[in-house]
A and B are shown apart, each in its own frame.
Chain A
């Protein structure tokens, strides 16, 4: 038996200096030879702990094996039988804390780059044309209709699974483009829109109907959907309501929520203004407040949109940052300046009502708080002013109130999340399930997909058993 190879193939990336000029994807993707070599490092261990680390249970060793045996159609089929959005997951999943974390090779060196291999397989299919499913994917039509609210990761996964189980699925999406956070939130340089489009088209090809510009709670209510011939509803409405800091001056012009900033840039393509007609104001000096992936995305968007200096202002230290290490590294490489242990106290503006500065304080870390992270406390007498032209507030989002407030019988927690059974996603309202950020608050794409899958299984069970279908 050959010795275990503990060195993973690095991901080829655009040069940091080139990235400031372009929204093109930073991670270029493996070549065939590097992908096959990376796949060959897998020892196909019998316990396959990686599968247990995947929220949607992808049969990882089997697709990796097919890849290294150069049977790409088989690799595609194995991957897509469990994951309808592999090109998306291969790019944005935090594999380091999921499948790759469980990899036995990881105990000796670098774990198998499962995410990069997943992406390679998905991209291969996009380049070579759709691979036909091995077995018919659709069961017998059940004659049942299911409404899915929201076309983000949870809704797309639930829809694909329900369609494969033979149900007629309609997605109600409030925006003009499908994908939810994949379309409005994650920037082109991390997740190209053509990938989202291709994988949404794949879900629709399973027979799912996509209704855009349907704002559930306004255009139609859950009650109306249920009395209009749908037997079940899945709510994948995400966590789209932006949080602000509630500091003085926060409504000055030039202060954006990360949702607005990213929506203008990603969904509306404001970086192509005036050819695309949505404007955005990005000044010389931009401050992004927050330490998560959304803060990194915002900072990196600002750099690419012409800002001279971009500061990331975070009240704890780098260790506590919730962003993925890879995204922190990318942001630093591109020249984002981290101002750690710093917290804004108020915003300053000019007589036109536009932001000009930010009064901040320095912080130090005290005792651990409820989250287990050391609590930042203000360093007395440390006030100072940062001059800024643009501010992006990226301190999190909460679930949107529109559906809960218009759906009798749906219970919501104090944090605005929809109360749902953790296993099945069943809500307090009969025939209504929920999953993803709508029930957990802001989390990851793959955990939302896992919730969509579990709810789809519960809905399928309900529809087949419930009314004798």
Chain B
């Protein structure tokens, strides 16, 4: 059992949980993830490590409410418990002094790119961060990402904050500079990462993405997270989640991400009906009781 030390609503649909997990906090590195199971009936879901504090013995997870599981997770409060947290899993992001590194974070991917930008900065790189979201009310950690970046660009689809447009536009501009950047890391929705890969392709700069396929165990046991990279089947949980963006079969990833779309919709509707008929009392968490 892992106690939730702190909960913060970063946006109405993006939440932060700081969780007691000393063994994981000791070993965590930028780019790794944990598997979380909320309660006995819960799914095992992968969540990227957004931060960790070895001294305090805690890890920080940031997630977007998308399906039933993350909606249930969002109901938890400080003092509640997560039944299982395992990690840190996956290969850490390759950090070294490359020169100039562009860190692109889209949507909830900002939480995953932030520790990488920080590590790249600490390794002596010049960090150019590009942060994007659909709208200003979905932006979070702007100051945090800015504080570890030498150059910082924020952009929204609707122009409600920062520049107006999508992340590939400023990415292209940075790539066109002379000298150009030495490495690009892009983390966000699969479609965003796919277009970052396409944008970077003509510039032959190494571009890394962090893939987010469906997982069950997260330790290499099931093969649910298999992706095709340079024509080879790889397990994202074991060999990744970071891969060379130019080698990824994006259509396969997007198709596999849709595998349970119908079931997820059914589950979310059921959960919403349950919430509507039995609303949680104010200030009380309903997560465990609903399990």
Contacts and interface: CB of A to CB of B under 8 A. Distances in A.
- On whether the two chains bind one another, the answer is yes
Interface of A: 174-176, 184, 212-215, 218-220, 240-242, 244, 246, 250-254, 256-257, 259-260, 263-264, 268-269, 273-279, 281, 352-354, 400-402
A276 B37 CA distance: 12
Nearest to A279: B263
A268 B84 contact: no
B224 interface: yes
A244 B223 contact: yes
B267 interface: yes
B24 interface: yes
A352 B217 CA distance: 25
A253 B223 contact: no
Contacts of A240: 220-221
Given A219-B86, A273-B263, A277-B41, 16 more contacts: A212-B84, A219-B23, A242-B223, A251-B252, A263-B216, A274-B267, A274-B270, A276-B41, A277-B42, A277-B267, A281-B260, A353-B252, A353-B254, A400-B219, A402-B219, A402-B238
Interface in B210-225: 216-217, 219-224
Interface string B268-286: 0010000000000000000
B172 interface: no
Contacts of A246: 233
A259 B223 contact: yes
B267 to A, nearest CB: 5
Contacts of B27: 218-220
A244 B85 CA distance: 28
21 contacts: A213-B85, A213-B86, A214-B86, A215-B87, A219-B87, A220-B23, A256-B223, A260-B216, A263-B216, A263-B217, A263-B222, A274-B266, A277-B68, A278-B216, A279-B267, A353-B251, A353-B254, A353-B256, A353-B258, A401-B238, A402-B220
B260 A218 contact: no
A274 B291 CA distance: 11
A176 B255 CA distance: 29
Interface in B157-177: none
A353 to B, nearest CB: 3
Contacts of B256: 251, 253, 353
Q: Which of A184, A253, A257, A277 neighbours the largest number of chain B CB atoms within 10 Å of its CB? A: A277
Contacts of B255: 252-253, 352-354
A352 B238 CA distance: 26
B146 interface: no
Contacts of A263: 216-217, 221-222
A213 B44 CA distance: 12
Contact of B44 (A242, A257, A278, A401): A278
A352 B83 contact: no
B226 interface: yes
A275 B39 CA distance: 12
Contacts of A253: 255-256, 258-259
Interface size class of B (residues with CB under 8 A): 35 or more
A242 to B, nearest CB: 5
Contacts of B24: 219
B41 A400 contact: no
- Residue among B259, B260, B267 with the most chain A CB within 10 A? B259
Given A277-B267, A279-B263, A353-B256, A259 B84 contact: no
A400 B254 CA distance: 27
A279 B221 contact: no
Given A277-B42, A277-B68, A259 B86 contact: no
A242 B222 contact: yes
Contact of B221 (A219, A273, A354, A400): A400
Given A242-B222, A257-B222, A215 B89 contact: yes
Contact of B264 (A184, A213, A279, A353): A279
Given A219-B27, A250-B233, A279 B260 contact: yes
A229 to B, nearest CB: 15
Contacts of A276: 41
B43 interface: yes
B88 interface: yes
A252 B259 CA distance: 9
Given A251-B252, A281-B260, A353-B256, A219 B88 contact: yes
B20 interface: no
A70 to B, nearest CB: 40
Interface centre among B23, B216, B226, B267 (most CB of A within 10 A): B216
A397 to B, nearest CB: 9
Contacts of A250: 233
A278 B43 contact: yes
Contacts of B267: 273-274, 277, 279
Interface string B225-236: 010100001000
B51 interface: no
A268 B44 contact: yes
A244 B228 CA distance: 13
Contacts of A212: 84
Contacts of B238: 401-402
Contact of A352 (B44, B219, B258): B258
Given A268-B43, A352-B258, A353-B256, A260 B222 contact: yes
Contact of B220 (A176, A220, A273, A400): A400
B43 A277 contact: yes
Given A253-B255, A268-B43, A353-B252, A277 B69 contact: yes
A17 to B, nearest CB: 28
Contacts of B221: 184, 240-242, 259, 263, 400
A291 B234 CA distance: 26
A275 B40 CA distance: 11
Contacts of A213: 84-86
A97 to B, nearest CB: 27
A389 B257 CA distance: 17
B211 to A, nearest CB: 13
Contacts of A400: 219-221
A88 to B, nearest CB: 20
